[in-house]
C-alpha cells in the first residue's frame, strides 16, 4: 500500500505568546523594540512539555479502492501540524515520535524543528522572522553538528537578520540576577547541573541525569499499572448521565489510533497524577518504613478514584537514590543509564558536589551559596529543602550551602526564557549578535566563536 507522511508537531506557542506579552509589559524590557528574543521553552509547558517535550506525529495517508490519495498527499510530502491541537487531536494512523535524538541533546527531525520555529514566530506571534534578531536557548551540551544546522536553518530558511545561541544554564542564572551560580535544571527529558561563572557556562562542570519529568512519569505509570489501575485517555470514552449523580462510561472505538498516540495521551494523564500527588520526602526514603504511609486519592477523567500510597514519595526519590530503579516492577534500569561507564546516574546532590569540585577553589564559596533550582520538575514539593539538606550533610565541614529558587512557579518553569529576555535587553549585549553578514563571511564557525 502506498503511503504518505502527515506530521504533527507540538510546540509551546501558546505560552510563548503569553510570555511575549509579559515581555512587552515589563519595564526593563521595553527598550528592546528592535529585537525579538525568543526561546523555545525547555520543559513542562504543554500537557507533555515545551521545546524539549515537543513531539511529532506521523500519519500514513492511505489510498481508496480507486487508488486516489486520501488527504490529497503524495508519498514524498510531509504536512506539519504544529501546536497543541496538532498532536493532541485524534487522527487515524498518527504515530507520535520525538524530534529529539535519543543519544544526545541534538535533534533528530529537522522538518519538525523548522515547523516549530516557523509556527511559533509566524502563526502564534504573528511576526516575520526577517524583521527580528532571534536568540535561541539551547541545552548545555548541544552537539556542534546540531548547532551548525540550527544556525543554517535560521539564516538560510527563516532568513533572520541576526541570531545568538545561549546555554540554558547561563540564561537561568541571568533570570535570578546572578552571573555566578550552580544551575540545577530539573526538566522533562533530564536533570542537568552546570556551573556558571561571570556569565559563562563552565563546560567541564556539565553533568546530566536521565531522571527528568519523562522518566518519573514512566515510573509512576508502571507503579499504577502494577496495582491494576487502568489509565484511559479522554478520547477513549464518553460519560453519559443516567440520573443526577449517576454516570455511565461508554467506550469510544478508535481502531485506527496508533499505540504511540495512546501512549502520548496516557503520559499526559500520568503527568497530571504525578504533579498532583508526588513530593520529595524530607529524609532518605525507605519503602518498608513508609509502607503504611497515609494514602491520597485522585479521580481519573473517567470518574474512577485511585488510591496512591508510598509511590508518591518513592517515584521522586530516584533523584536522590537511583538504585531504587531496581525495585520498580516492569522497569529495566539499563534504560536510565547516563554515565560513560554504563552505571546508573549519580544522585542529584553528588552531581552538584562534583560540579562545584571542578570549579576553581577561589569561586567555590560563591557556588556553595549560589545553587539555583529551576525547571518544571522543581515544582515538586520538598525538592529544594531536601537538596539543601543533603548538600549540607555531604559538603565540606564548615561549608554553608544555600539552594534558592524563584517563588513564582511560572518563573521557575520558564527561567531560561526570562533570562533570555533580560540578556537581550542589555545594551552591552548588542555587540554579541551574529549578523547575516558575519555568517555569510565566516559560516557557522562565527557562532561558535561568539557564542561558545
- The confidence score (pLDDT) of residue 165 equals 96
- The confidence score (pLDDT) of residue 97 equals 73
Q: Mean pLDDT score of the chain, rounded to an integer?
A: 82
- The confidence score (pLDDT) of residue 56 equals 52
Pairing of strands 237-243, 305-308: unpaired
Q: What is the pLDDT of residues 195-210, one digit of tens each?
A: 999 999 999 999 999 9
Q: What is the pLDDT of residues 276-294, one digit of tens each?
A: 999 999 999 988 887 778 8
Collapse the DSSP code of 427 into the 3-class scheme (helix H, G, I; strand E, B; otherwise coil) and give the result: helix
Pairing of strands 403-404, 35-37: unpaired
Q: Is the pLDDT of residue 1 over 50?
A: no
User: Which residue ranges form the domains of the chain, and what is each CATH number?
Assistant: 5-176+411-450 (3.30.420.40), 177-210+345-405 (3.30.420.40), 213-335 (3.90.640.10)
- The confidence score (pLDDT) of residue 14 equals 36
212 near 43, Cβ under 8 Å? yes
- Which one has a higher pLDDT value, 414 or 403? 403
Q: Is the pLDDT of residue 25 over 50?
A: no
151 near 447, Cβ under 8 Å? yes
- The confidence score (pLDDT) of residue 116 equals 81
**How large is the average pLDDT for residues 355-376?**
96
- Percent of the residues in the chain that have a pLDDT greater than 70, as a whole number: 80
Closest CA to 373 of 169, 219, 198, 136: 169
Helix (H) or strand (E) holding 242: strand 237-243
Give bridge partners of residue 49 from the DSSP assignment.
Answer: 46
Q: What is the pLDDT of residues 157-187, one digit of tens each?
A: 999 999 999 999 999 999 999 999 999 999 9
Q: Is the pLDDT of residue 68 over 60?
A: no
Q: What are phi and psi of 408, to 5 degrees?
A: -85, 120
Cα 443 to the center of its chain, rounded Å? 30
Q: How far apart are CA 334 and CA 196, in angstroms?
A: 31
Buried b (16+ CB within 10 A) or exposed e, 249-259: eeeeeeeebbe
Rounded to two decimals, what is the model's pTM? 0.84
In the chain, count H helices and then E strands: 15, 18
Q: What is the DSSP string of 45-63?
A: SBTTBSGGG--EEEEE--B
**How large is the average pLDDT for residues 42-60?**
44
Phi-psi region of 431 (alpha: psi -120 to 50; beta: other; left: phi over 0): alpha
- pLDDT-based confidence at 93, cuts 50/70/90? confident
- pLDDT-based confidence at 340, cuts 50/70/90? low
Q: What share of the chain is helix, strand, coil (3-state, %, to 5)?
A: 40, 20, 35
Q: What is the pLDDT of residues 113-145, one digit of tens each?
A: 888 888 888 887 888 999 989 999 999 999 999
- pLDDT-based confidence at 42, cuts 50/70/90? very low
Pairing of strands 5-9, 78-82: parallel
- The confidence score (pLDDT) of residue 203 equals 96
- pLDDT-based confidence at 321, cuts 50/70/90? very high
Sign of CA dihedral 348, 349, 354, 358: positive
Cα distances from 149 to residues 60, 109, 111, 255, in angstroms, run 28, 11, 12, 39
Q: What is the pLDDT of residues 219-259, one digit of tens each?
A: 999 999 999 999 999 999 999 888 888 889 999 999 999 89
- Which one has a higher pLDDT value, 130 or 69? 130
- The confidence score (pLDDT) of residue 338 equals 56
Q: How far apart are CA 356 and CA 367, in angstroms?
A: 7
Give bridge partners of residue 329 from the DSSP assignment.
Answer: none
- The confidence score (pLDDT) of residue 330 equals 76
Cα 391 to the center of its chain, rounded Å? 25
**How large is the average pLDDT for residues 427-435?**
92
Please name the residue that has the C-alpha cell 503569553.
Answer: 18
Q: How far apart are CA 269 and CA 48, in angstroms?
A: 9
Cα distances from 228 to residues 220, 225, 262, 328, 357, in angstroms, run 13, 5, 18, 15, 46
- The confidence score (pLDDT) of residue 349 equals 98
120 near 40, Cβ under 8 Å? yes
Amino acid at each position: 500500500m502506498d503511503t504518505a507522511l502527515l506530521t504533527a508537531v507540538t510546540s509551546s506557542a501558546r505560552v510563548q505568546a503569553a510570555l511575549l506579552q509579559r515581555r512587552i509589559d515589563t519595564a526593563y524590557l521595553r527598550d528592546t523594540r528592535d529585537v525579538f528574543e525568543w526561546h523555545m521553552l525547555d520543559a513542562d509547558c504543554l500537557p507533555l512539555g515545551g521545546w524539549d517535550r515537543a513531539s511529532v506525529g506521523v500519519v500514513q495517508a492511505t489510498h481508496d479502492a480507486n487508488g486516489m490519495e486520501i488527504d490529497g498527499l503524495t508519498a514524498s510530502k510531509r504536512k506539519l501540524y504544529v501546536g497543541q491541537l496538532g498532536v493532541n487531536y485524534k487522527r487515524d494512523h498518527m504515530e507520535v515520535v520525538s524530534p529529539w535524538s535519543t543519544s544526545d541533546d541534538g535533534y533528530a527531525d529537522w522538518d519538525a524543528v523548522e515547523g516549530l520555529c516557523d509556527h511559533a514566530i509566524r502563526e502564534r506571534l504573528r511576526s516575520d522572522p526577517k524583521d527580528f534578531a532571534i536568540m535561541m536557548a539551547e541545552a548545555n551540551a548541544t552537539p556542534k553538528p546540531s548547532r551548525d544546522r540550527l544556525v543554517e536553518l535560521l539564516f538560510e530558511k527563516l532568513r533572520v537578520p541576526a541570531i545568538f545561541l545561549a546555554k540554558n544554564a547561563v540564561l537561568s542564572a541571568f533570570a535570578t540576577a546572578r552571573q555566578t551560580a550552580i544551575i540545577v535544571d530539573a526538566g522533562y527529558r533530564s536533570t542537568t547541573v552546570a556551573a556558571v561563572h561571570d556569565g559563562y557556562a563552565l563546560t567541564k562542570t556539565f553533568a546530566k541525569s536521565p531522571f527528568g519529568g519523562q522518566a518519573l512519569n514512566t515510573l509512576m505509570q508502571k507503579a499504577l499499572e502494577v496495582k491494576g489501575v487502568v489509565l484511559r485517555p479522554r478520547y477513549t470514552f464518553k460519560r453519559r448521565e443516567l440520573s443526577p449523580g449517576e454516570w455511565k462510561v461508554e467506550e469510544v472505538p478508535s481502531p485506527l489510533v496508533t499505540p504511540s498516540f495512546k501512549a502520548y495521551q496516557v503520559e499526559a494523564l500520568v503527568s497530571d497524577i504525578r504533579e498532583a500527588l508526588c513530593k520529595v520526602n524530607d529524609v532518605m526514603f525507605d519503602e518498608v518504613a513508609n509502607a503504611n504511609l497515609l494514602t491520597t486519592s485522585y479521580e481519573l477523567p473517567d470518574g474512577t478514584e485511585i488510591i496512591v500510597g508510598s509511590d508518591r514519595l518513592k517515584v521522586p526519590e530516584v533523584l536522590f537514590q537511583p538504585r531504587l530503579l531496581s525495585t520498580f516492577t516492569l522497569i529495566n534500569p539499563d534504560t536510565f543509564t547516563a554515565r560513560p561507564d554504563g552505571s546508573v546516574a549519580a544522585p542529584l546532590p553528588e552531581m552538584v558536589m562534583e560540579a562545584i569540585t571542578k570549579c576553581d577553589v577561589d569561586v567555590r564559596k560563591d557556588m556553595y551559596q549560589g545553587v539555583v533550582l529551576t525547571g518544571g520538575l522543581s515544582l515538586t514539593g520538598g525538592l529544594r529543602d531536601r537538596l539543601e539538606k543533603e548538600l549540607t550533610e555531604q559538603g565540606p565541614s564548615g561549608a554553608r550551602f544555600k539552594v534558592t529558587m524563584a517563588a513564582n512557579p511560572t518563573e521557575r518553569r520558564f527561567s531560561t526564557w526570562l533570562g533570555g529576555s533580560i540578556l537581550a535587553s542589555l545594551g552591552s549585549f548588542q555587540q554579541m549578535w551574529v549578523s547575516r553578514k558575519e555568517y555569510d563571511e565566516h559560516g557557522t564557525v562565527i557562532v561558535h566563536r561568539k557564542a561558545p
